[in-house]
């Protein structure tokens, strides 16, 4: 139907006709005209002139549009809006929807020029007879004007004024409607109306309403669906289907009225309209949550939201940035990789439960770009019931810093030793270089911060972690692999504290709480509180051969008009590539010879464990050439008040949580899954002409001595194993009832080859002889004995190997022994198989710290914790108050 423009209508005749119909048509129509033609001497010509001098069309502000967040593959992960709206062109609205809205709101829309005299009079008569509103008296153009005025109102007072129904405001709407008819075609007016109208249930515009009510696009609406939406426009609050059955009944009545009107106008057959009215509403109310609570990746969503609200690129003021996020209709392409995010989520939640007070967090970053590929937290995002501080949920993004919605961070432990290592290599140190360290160390001289101020701490005593011996020669690699505290304290003094701090800063190291870094002697031991995103970005720079890139979560921004702006990585060369290659070369040994020995992702990797003094937190940070990640674990109630000792996490008991016992396995599992199906690349080999050929006095001799001790120890262990096997064979032969028989004792008490009735082991004193009694009908001799060696025997490496640690521990107590028999998860500081010799590689899963390693430092302040989802921090106002770290 061809649109009729305003110029085709005689305004003078229209006003004159309106005035003549005033008496017969009622006070409403007369009232519209009276301000202009009510005077006795006022001619129709003057009234027409007043309407011809139309105002400029209303200034149309851009409609508040929904901002959508997409993952790297283009799938929506979150949305932000002030009004749930997504404007669409008229061509993307089903024709039946256009017919329905015109039929019920303005059936002569395509025939009048903005003022429908016949429609107004007909609506007046129909509504008067019906005793309620059955037809609209305002044209669609007038309703569009009203919605524009309402949309421009930003305060409650302005909105109230826009809704006031006075003669003057009605005339203003009419005059502006006539101006719109002059400016736009009919289809353009209808398109604007369909996109601005409120349909109820929080849906603005026909596209959002179609999705909200029926889960379909506006282009796919059926007759009954279109009639339902058209009926909701007139009274969207009274017919809001989300408010209950009464509202749904009213909505259905409105739908049936629309169908009847469409049949009356011949837009649909009467039989079809009757059949449609006989069907139920068939609503499929689809929630459209705004913000991060409804996102599949809520913690990453929080990071993106905070990035927009704090980045001047999105507006000069925070208010401008909030407006743009909630009203701008942006499409933000993020960097999140669904496969990597899934891998991180599964690895974290597999070992740490949302119910636990301990929290695990992980961030994955792509080297060379800084793009965040995953961000996972073991807690669920949201508020706890009754707004409790503790529970399954948290609203803090514990994988990020305070600026991005995170907590105050956790001390990073020995993950900071890499900055001292990089500084030493940068200053000319070679592989194999090292020195002899004492059994304890006092940082009483040689430490100055970057302002030149001496920050020595003569009252602090640093000890090596348990199992590392009382001192001796260490090379650069061995000191790193075993994470030797005293070695790194001495190394930091040699290369200069300020130089180490400068290296860390160049790699993006900033405290999680935004305050300046604590430049103290224990800086290299991780005295500063950090977040996984910052640490992962620093390690990603090592993977990228020294190219540091600021963590980025936004890859591109598409404006509402389709303009696309790419966001390039913000990178800078922080380390010389050769130095970064040398660091990676050393850190690969952490997996093959150090604290992560025995844990692998099946491809070249480098990394560093970190466990803080007192087990207040635990870390692992590592990387491949294609992906870097950092994992932290700490107690959400306050890491210093609640250390990670004697805790059950994810249903598993830990005597003490170390970097290699919980964060390390999380990192391994997540990286293995995230990199599945991607090519495996090796690191660039180091320049051996520059970094090879170092020398540590006395190291060769110490290693030779250690090898001899290990050889002798293995020999003794082999003899003990043979002795134990013979004893077990004798017991088995007796059980069989015949000579030479070698029956295996049936396992009891958790699978141990001893039987003593239901859950108990009888013991007999004297001479180290232990009787074994049969019980429960098992094929074990009624009374037999075995000789238990009581001298010159390493209990944990023989008896525990045969019978298991629990049985061995029980026997040891009875016989007066107290050997360190326990699994790595139960007893900190010792793992079966570790030599305990100075300079020896750590055993599988072993970290170099132990509960026995105490710094003896006098601390100035008491640790304090935060609740409500925040991690804790200590009063580290002076060097002596800084917490020491381990591996």
Contact status, residue 358 vs residue 647, Cβ threshold 8 Å: yes
Question: What pLDDT, on a 0 to 100 scale, did the predictor assign at position 458?
Answer: 92
Q: Supply the pLDDT for residue 496.
A: 97
Q: Write down the H helix ranges in 512-662.
A: 532-543, 577-592
740, 722 in Cβ contact below 8 A? no
pLDDT given for residue 647 in this prediction: 94
Which runs of consecutive H residues, i.e. helices, occur in 445-531?
476-481, 485-495, 497-506
Angle (CA) 823-826-828 rounded to 5° is 95
Could you give the C-alpha distances from 628 to 370, 411, 441, 507, 856, in angstroms and in order? 10, 19, 34, 14, 35
The contacts of residue 768 (CB under 8 Å, 6+ apart) are 787, 788, 789, 790, 815
Containing H/E element for 714? helix 699-736
pLDDT at 12: 40
Work out the burial of residue 262: count CB atoms within 10 Å of its CB; fewer than 13 is exposed, 13-18 middle, 19 or more buried: buried
Distance CA 661, CA 665 (A): 7
pLDDT of residue 17: 40
With tokens 């995230």, the residue in question is: 674
DSSP bridge pairs for 554: 334
Contacts of 586 (CB under 8 A, 6+ apart): 421, 431, 476, 477, 480
Q: What share of the chain is helix, strand, coil (3-state, %, to 5)?
A: 40, 15, 45
Strand order in the sheet with 885-886: 372-377, 358-365, 628-635, 618-623, 606-612, 885-886
pLDDT for the residue numbered 837: 33
Residue of 223, 200, 311, 305 whose CA lies nearest to 272:
223
**What are the phi and psi torsion angles at 232 (to 5°)?**
-80, -20
CA dist., res. 868 & res. 636, Å (int): 8
Which phi and psi (to 5°) does residue 704 adopt?
-65, -45
Q: Compute, in degrees rounded to 10, the torsion defined by CA atoms 301, 303, 305, 308.
A: -140
Check: CB of residue 694 under 8 Å from CB of residue 476.
yes
Which two tokens mark 485?
């505290």
Closest residue by Cα to residue 18 from 6, 40, 34: 34
End-to-end, the C-alpha distance of the chain in Å comes to: 79
**Residue entry with tokens 């796919």:** 220
Q: Is the pTM of this model over 0.95?
A: no
Non-local (6+) Cβ contacts of 493 within 8 A are 443, 446, 447, 521
Report the C-alpha gap between 788 and 777 in whole angstroms. Answer: 25
H/E segment holding residue 885: strand 885-886
| Structure tokens given for 824 | 């790595």
DSSP-based three-state secondary structure for 690: helix
pLDDT confidence of residue 126: 63
Maximum distance among all Cα pairs of the chain, rounded to whole angstroms: 137
- What's the CA gap between 424 and 516, in Å, rounded? 24
Q: Residue 154's pLDDT is what?
A: 65
- Which of 229, 227, 238 minimizes the C-alpha distance to 279? 227
Q: Is 20 helix (H, G, I), strand (E, B) or coil?
A: helix
Ranges under pLDDT 70 in the chain? 1-58, 114, 116-137, 154-167, 465-470, 731-887
Give the pLDDT score at 524.
96
Taking each helix axis as running N to C, give the angle between helix 485-495 and helix 417-426, from 0 to 180 degrees, rounded to the nearest 10. 40
Please give the Cα distance from 51 to 178 (Å, whole number).
9
DSSP string, 136-154: -SS-HHHHHHHHHHHHH--
Q: Are strands 331-334 and 67-70 parallel, antiparallel or unpaired?
A: parallel
- How distant, in Å, are the alpha carbons of 203, 245, 398 from that of 60? 20, 37, 42
Radius of gyration of the chain (CA): 38
């Amino acid at each position: 139907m061809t649109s009729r423009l305003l110029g085709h209508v005689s305004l003078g005749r229209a006003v004159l006709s309106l005035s003549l119909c005033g008496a017969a048509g009622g006070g409403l129509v007369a009232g519209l005209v009276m301000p202009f033609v009510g005077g006795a001497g006022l001619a129709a010509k003057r009234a027409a002139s007043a309407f011809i001098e139309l105002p400029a069309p209303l200034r149309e502000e851009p409609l508040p549009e929904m901002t959508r967040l997409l993952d790297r593959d283009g799938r929506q992960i979150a949305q932000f809006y002030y009004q749930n709206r997504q404007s669409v062109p008229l061509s993307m609205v089903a024709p039946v929807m256009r017919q329905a809205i015109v039929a019920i709101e303005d059936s002569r829309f395509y025939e009048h020029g903005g003022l429908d005299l016949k429609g107004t009079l007909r609506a007046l008569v129909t509504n008067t007879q019906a005793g309620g509103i059955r037809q609209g008296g305002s044209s669609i153009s007038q309703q569009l004007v009203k919605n524009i005025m309402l949309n421009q109102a930003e305060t409650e007072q302005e909105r109230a004024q826009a809704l006031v129904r006075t003669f003057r405001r009605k005339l203003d709407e009419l005059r502006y409607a006539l101006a719109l008819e002059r400016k736009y075609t009919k289809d353009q007016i209808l398109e604007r109306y369909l996109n601005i109208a409120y349909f109820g249930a929080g849906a603005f515009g026909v596209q959002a309403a179609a999705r909200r009510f029926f889960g379909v696009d506006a282009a796919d609406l059926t007759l009954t669906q279109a009639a339902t939406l058209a009926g909701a426009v007139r009274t969207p609050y009274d017919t809001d289907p989300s408010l209950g059955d009464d509202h749904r009944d009213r909505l259905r009545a409105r739908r049936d009225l629309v169908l009847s009107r469409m049949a009356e106008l011949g837009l649909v057959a009467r039989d079809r309209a009757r059949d449609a009215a006989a069907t139920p509403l068939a609503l499929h109310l689809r929630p459209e949550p705004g913000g991060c609570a409804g996102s599949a990746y809520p913690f990453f969503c929080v990071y993106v939201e905070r990035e927009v609200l704090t980045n001047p690129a999105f507006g000069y003021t925070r208010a401008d940035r909030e407006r743009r996020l909630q009203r701008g209709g942006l499409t933000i392409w993020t960097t999140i990789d669904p496969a990597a995010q899934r891998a991180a989520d599964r690895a974290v939640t597999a070992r740490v439960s949302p119910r636990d007070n301990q929290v695990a967090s992980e961030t994955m970053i792509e080297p060379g770009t800084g793009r965040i590929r995953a961000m996972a937290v073991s807690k669920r995002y949201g508020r706890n019931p009754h707004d409790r501080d503790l529970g399954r949920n948290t609203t803090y993004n514990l994988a990020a810093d305070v600026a991005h919605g995170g907590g105050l961070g956790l001390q990073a432990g020995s993950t900071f030793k890499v900055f001292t290592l990089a500084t030493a290599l940068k200053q000319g140190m070679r592989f194999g270089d090292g020195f002899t360290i004492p059994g304890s160390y006092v940082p009483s001289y040689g430490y100055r911060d970057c302002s030149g101020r001496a920050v020595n701490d003569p009252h602090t005593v640093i000890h090596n972690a348990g199992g590392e011996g009382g001192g001796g020669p260490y090379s650069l690699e061995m000191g790193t692999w075993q994470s030797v505290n005293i070695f790194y304290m001495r190394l930091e003094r040699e290369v200069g504290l300020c130089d180490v701090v400068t290296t860390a800063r160049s790699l993006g190291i900033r405290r999680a709480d935004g305050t300046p870094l604590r430049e103290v002697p224990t800086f290299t031991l991780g005295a500063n509180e950090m977040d996984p995103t910052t640490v992962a970005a620093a390690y990603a720079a090592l993977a990228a051969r020294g190219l540091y890139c600021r963590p980025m979560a936004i890859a591109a921004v598409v404006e509402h008009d389709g303009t696309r702006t790419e966001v390039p990585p913000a990178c800078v060369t922080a380390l010389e590539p050769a130095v970064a290659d040398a660091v990676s070369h050393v850190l690969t040994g952490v997996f093959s010879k150090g604290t992560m020995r025995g844990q692998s992702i099946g491809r070249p990797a480098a990394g560093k464990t970190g466990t803080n003094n007192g087990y207040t937190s635990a870390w692992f940070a590592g990387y491949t050439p294609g992906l870097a990640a950092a994992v932290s674990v700490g107690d959400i109630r306050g890491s210093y008040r609640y250390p990670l000792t004697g805790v059950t996490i994810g249903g598993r008991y830990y005597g003490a949580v170390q970097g290699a016992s919980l964060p390390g396995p999380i990192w391994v599992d997540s990286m293995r899954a995230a990199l599945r199906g991607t090519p495996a690349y090796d690191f660039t080999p180091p320049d051996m002409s520059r970094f090879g050929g170092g020398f540590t006095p006395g190291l060769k001799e110490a290693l030779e001595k250690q090898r001899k001790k290990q050889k002798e120890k293995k020999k003794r262990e082999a003899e003990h194993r043979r002795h134990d096997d013979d004893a077990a064979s004798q017991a088995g032969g007796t059980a069989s009832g015949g000579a030479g028989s070698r029956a295996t004792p049936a396992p009891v008490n958790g699978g141990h080859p001893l039987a003593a009735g239901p859950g108990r082991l009888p013991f007999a004193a004297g001479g180290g002889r232990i009787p074994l009694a049969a019980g429960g009908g098992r094929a074990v001799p009624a009374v037999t004995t075995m000789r238990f060696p009581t001298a010159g025997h390493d209990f944990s490496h023989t008896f525990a190997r045969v019978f298991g640690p629990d049985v061995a521990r029980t026997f040891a107590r009875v016989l007066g022994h107290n050997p360190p028999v326990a699994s790595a998860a139960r007893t900190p500081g010792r793992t079966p198989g570790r030599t305990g010799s100075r300079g020896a590689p750590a055993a599988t899963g072993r970290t170099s710290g132990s509960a026995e390693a105490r710094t003896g430092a006098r601390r100035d302040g008491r640790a304090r914790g935060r609740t409500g989802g925040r991690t804790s921090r200590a009063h580290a106002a002076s060097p002596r108050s800084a917490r020491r770290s381990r591996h």
